[in-house]
Structure 1
């Protein structure tokens, strides 16, 4: 039996936190190891429990989700960060990506998206809730025309472009390795090279660039 994905949940609204907890409790492959009511508490609990994934609300007292995500990236870069968002918080998307988030989930979305997104984040993939994906791409890509994006990815090798296209699909290193008949370590090397060559911070920005370059449907 595989080890459950260990999750830290940070949400200051008790009803929403209880609802998210209930959804996660229904999945035997996910274990909520800690809950926080604000970002500062989330960082402290993450240091204590070392979860695989931290699910953070954006708006929280003391330290908001963006600041908590940045602090987790600094202190615990191995912890994947998933942001809980609403349609009214588009302005925060770019900041969340810069802060190190690799997943975006809507509070009003399908409960299955929550577990899917957490599993994807734990597996090293970028996950965008389908209903928010276009907004993320639009927000990050308004200033980048398709031709400019194509010029940027032209610096990649053919194999790196293949890997980038699959990053754009939001799949994990393990799945990329299976599709391309590579070992996972080689995929990790390619991903690191892609981020460096494209001068992007993380997989979400790389995925957006893949969309802008027309590499993903």
Structure 2
């Protein structure tokens, strides 16, 4: 799938962590997509070694649903995003282009529990000195997005049209510099816009 993308050059595939390190040394890729669990050397250890040798290399982790603790460890090791192994083509490409632009990619299937683990971890994707300012209305919409309400439902609750809510959502995503609901939840928790108990 990746080899068919004009904007992506696939430079190699590895069967285990040690082979991955050899390939990275040989090819010096801009980006590495790696499984967290691999034979010989796992993705977390491999990510630390790769980034020690080549700090500008961007890493995206591939994981399973039940590997939430490992996803957090992978982010703490320096990964800039993560995907579930059943991610579709569109999300994989979105992750690649998002991370390539220097942003963090949160998988759209991120659970509230995983978001909470990320917020409590040493991983900090928002190192800017102060978060963007949100209006009261935007904060209201952020809280409802975090509670998994659709644009239609938010509109009904706040007496707004669906289109107006979608406009707010677009501005919120831009201000937070995130791509999806998972990014909104993690940002909102990090910046105390919503409390963990409100979404768990």
> Normalised by the size of structure 2, how large is the TM-score?
0.63
CA RMSD of aligned residues (A): 2.9
Q: Show CA shifts across 1:110-145 (max 9, x none).
A: 2211111011111111001111264431222368xx
Return the index of the structure with the highest Cα Rg: 2
Are residues 68 and 103 of structure 1, via their aligned partners in 2, closer, same or farther at CA, if it must alter by over 3 Å? Answer: same
The partner residue of 1:43 within 21, 26, 36 is: 21
Is 1:79 the counterpart of 2:57? The answer is yes
* 1:141 paired residue number: 119
Counterpart secondary structure, 1:130? coil
* 1:122 paired residue number: 100
Is 1:62 the counterpart of 2:40? The answer is yes
* 2:81 paired residue number: 103
- Write 1 or 2 for the structure with the bigger share of strand: 1
> Normalised by the size of structure 1, how large is the TM-score?
0.59
* Structure 2: 5+ residue stretches without partners: 122-126, 134-172, 195-200
Counterparts of 1:110 and 1:170, CA distance in 2: 19
- Write 1 or 2 for the structure with the bigger share of helix: 1
Are residues 26 and 209 of structure 1, via their aligned partners in 2, closer, same or farther at CA, if it must alter by over 3 Å? Answer: same
Size of the aligned set, in residue pairs, is 146
Cα shift at 1:210:
5.0
Q: Show CA shifts across 1:55-99 (max 9, x none).
A: 000111110111111111111111000000110111212211111
* 1:26 paired residue number: 4
* Structure 1: 5+ residue stretches without partners: 1-22, 144-152, 172-204
